[in-house]
Amino acid sequence: MIRIGIDVGGTGIQIGVVNHEYTIIHESSIPTRINIPFEEQVKHITDAVVSTAEAAGYSIDDIESVGVGIPGIASAKTGEVIKCTNMGWRHVPFREVFNQYLDKPVFIDNDANVAALAESVAGVSAGSSSSVFITIGTGIGSGIIINNRIWSGAHHIGGELGHVIFDLDGVSCTCGNHGCLERYCSATALIRMAREAIADCPESMILQLVHQDPAKIEAKTVFDAAYAGDPIALSVYHHYIDCLAQAIANVVNFLDPEMIVLGGGVSKAGHFLLDPLVTEFRKYVLFNDQPLPQISLAVLGSEAGIIGAAMLS
Amino acid sequence: MIRIGIDVGGTGIQIGVVNHEYTIIHESSIPTRINIPFEEQVKHITDAVVSTAEAAGYSIDDIESVGVGIPGIASAKTGEVIKCTNMGWRHVPFREVFNQYLDKPVFIDNDANVAALAESVAGVSAGSSSSVFITIGTGIGSGIIINNRIWSGAHHIGGELGHVIFDLDGVSCTCGNHGCLERYCSATALIRMAREAIADCPESMILQLVHQDPAKIEAKTVFDAAYAGDPIALSVYHHYIDCLAQAIANVVNFLDPEMIVLGGGVSKAGHFLLDPLVTEFRKYVLFNDQPLPQISLAVLGSEAGIIGAAMLS
């Protein structure tokens, strides 16, 4: 028996065949199409599920379940997608329509929750019963695991760590509020801090690395320049680490999970990101004379979406 | 059969006999004594349990269980009190010693968690399976209920909402950090805001109510003056409500419980506090076009400590 994991993204939908050792044994993708009716979108997905299973040498009968991770909000209970802007979905009966085309148990959840589940079962937080997965990219998302289950909230709107107020009346956010955590802790924030810093110091290595074009600065640019010892980049890096350490401490002070897992593009900076955080977050934890959550880098990378979706039950 | 609930406070220890309808049928108290050995402290408590049960007309055999809420951190699993400054306890085997004097099932947890449990079973959040209880007094504490159980964290250090960073590099806190949430949302914060406001406006009714002595300002003073229409008090009140609305939204964005319950001294302001919050918190919630948690005032008051402790299991 196999499980199918589906990762719905903005440009493509990844479909993976996952075995009982949580390994993707075959994978395919179809483009995200939004200008067709919802029923047709689902039909494309179910067709791809069948063809992907068959390409891996399995029949429909071998499919134990299908799980779907979506960038949006969904009810794991009713199988309804409440909101998924990328697909143009609002209050669509996903499970119901899916089952009209393919009669298999189908489960659906938010993509950050799904990645959190994947890491907590087959990744770095395996063996823990509670964890918070923080994905640090353009924005900040998070997935919460409590007692080995996804906690997405009573109304499926939890895990939005990126939009927790972190700096009263602070930097304005795309959501319309001010001082949201992701304005200080995302890749976007790091890039903003770097641009602000080089405005006063045009000699920074950050600018050299992007051939004097600030529009080309990426998170990696800042980390590379800081790693090389550029003083401007180092000062931005230290400030960013300090913000992220406070964000991690916030999760500890409020929820105290067994582990905190860092994923997303920024986590590719590896130990240059992780090591100072592991030291720095402690000073912002109230009971920091106690055993504290372990902070780790995610290990499943982009596979977490498919593996975690396949694990949904 | 009866249950015993114990509320350990800074000046006294309240012991209550609680029936199966979650009603306190008899109550007594003993003074908090810290200058005696731990074993003696516990002996005083067990003696008081027996005498309180007897005074209510019950024998030791009628006691089903004993629960204890402490201002500090404790392991519900091992029965160890990890830290309780009021009693001078650090890593003491509470359950073990308690059982040497009284052989009954004994349970222990943090006092905010215990109050959260009480409200979620016998109070305003009864019937909900997830809630966050926020106690707003000198500081800010919180207790988290998920799937009908207290979630105190993997290391029993969760629920410290008051020390979540809410304003980067903001007002300095007693804990040593800056910008902690309780510096903006506690009674202490409201009083600080009022003192700052009247410094520029000595004609404020706030000062009249305390006979021109700023040291006498309490949370109630500000609410009373605002309710009476004093413009300075109203401006402080609106700012405070805005901060508290953002704090509530933070809990919604991250954890999305079914209900949020407001307790502690400040909650005595009743609907003058609650009504604007219920309107204001929505604008800080990311998915505010969805059904949102219900925000309510606690109803059990100071009895929550005893009732919740008696419910521990």
What was the pLDDT predicted at B9? 86
Q: Note the pLDDT tens digit of each residue in A47-73.
A: 999 999 999 999 999 999 999 999 999
When scoring B149, B161, B253, B280 by the number of chain A Cβ atoms within 10 A, the one with the most, hence best to mutate, is: B253
At A85, the amino acid letter reads T
* B242 touches A: beta carbon within 8 Å: no
- Going A61 to A64 to A68 to A69, the CA torsion angle's sign is negative
- CB contact set of A75 (below 8 Å; sequence gap of 6+): A82, A108, A156
Tokens describing residue A32: 């995200």
Q: Report CA-CA distances (Å) from A72 to A30, A106, A177, A179.
A: 19, 17, 19, 22
Does B145 contact chain A (CB < 8 Å)?
no
**In the predicted model, what is the mean pLDDT of residues A251-260?**
98
Cβ count near B38 (within 10 Å): 17
Residue B299 and residue B123 in contact, taking contact as beta carbons nearer than 8 Å: yes
What integer pLDDT is reported at residue A11 of this predicted model?
81
In terms of DSSP bridges, do strands A140-146 and A149-150 run parallel, antiparallel, or are they unpaired? antiparallel
Containing B74, the helix (H) or strand (E) segment is strand B73-74
CB pairs under 8 A between A and B: 158
Separation between Cα atoms, residue B218 and residue B232, nearest integer Å: 15
What mean pLDDT is predicted for residues A190-212? 95
Strand order in the sheet with A131-136: A149-150, A140-146, A131-136, A259-263, A294-297
Where does the pLDDT of residue B7 fall: very low under 50, low under 70, confident under 90, or very high at 90 and above?
very high
Query: How much of chain B, in percent, has pLDDT values that exceed 70?
Result: 100
Run of H or E residues at B25: strand B24-31
- List the beta strands (DSSP E) in chain A: 2-8, 12-18, 24-31, 63-70, 73-74, 81-84, 89-92, 106-110, 131-136, 140-146, 149-150, 259-263, 294-297
Closest approach of A258 to chain B, Cα-based (Å): 5
Cβ <8 Å between B246 and A165: yes
Instruction: Residue A19: name the closest of A311, A214, A248 by CA.
Output: A311
Q: Say yes or no to pLDDT of A10 above 80.
A: no
Residues of A in contact with B166 (CB under 8 A): 165-166, 168
A242-247 mean pLDDT: 98
Q: Do A168 and B243 touch (CB under 8 A)?
A: yes
Say if CB B253 and CB B286 are below 8 A apart.
Answer: yes
What length does chain B have? 313
CB contact under 8 A, A291 and B163: no
What are the beta bridge partners of residue B295? B260
**Of B144, B87, B60, whose CA–CA distance to B68 is shortest?**
B87
- What ipTM does this complex have? 0.95
Average pLDDT over residues B156-167: 97
- pLDDT for B60 equals 96
Mean pLDDT to the nearest integer, B291-295: 98
CB A249 within 8 A of CB A295: no
CA distance B247 to B284: 9
Predicted local confidence at residue B200, as pLDDT:
85
B280 to chain A, any CB pair closer than 8 A? The answer is no
Selected for mutation to probe chain B from A253, A281, A283 (highest B CB count within 10 Å) is A253
pLDDT of residue B11 exceeding 90, the answer is no
- Predicted confidence at residue A45, as pLDDT, reads 97
Beta bridge partners of B172: B178
Name residues whose C-beta falls within 8 Å of residue B11's C-beta, 6 or more positions apart in sequence: B31, B32
Å from A192 to nearest chain B CA?
17
Question: Distance between CA atoms of A240 and A262, rounded to whole angstroms?
Answer: 15
Of the candidates A155, A184, A255, the beta carbon closest to that of B153 is on A255
**The pair of three-digit structure tokens given for residue B189, joined into one six-digit string:** 């914060």
Describe chain A by its helix, strand, coil percentages, rounded to 5: 45, 25, 35
Tell whether B287 lies on the interface with A, counting CB pairs under 8 A.
Answer: yes
Mean pLDDT of chain B: 96
Q: What is the pLDDT of residue B168?
A: 98
Integer-rounded Cα Rg, in Å, for chain B is: 21
pLDDT at B10 over 80: no
Give tens-digit pLDDT for A130-179: 999 999 999 999 999 999 999 999 999 999 999 999 999 999 999 999 99
Show residues of chain A in contact with B287, CB under 8 Å. Answer: 73, 83, 155, 157, 160
Q: How far is CA A222 from CA A44, A208, B138, in A?
A: 41, 11, 42
Mean pLDDT of chain A: 96
Exposed, middle or buried by CB within 10 Å (0-12, 13-18, 19+), for B54? middle
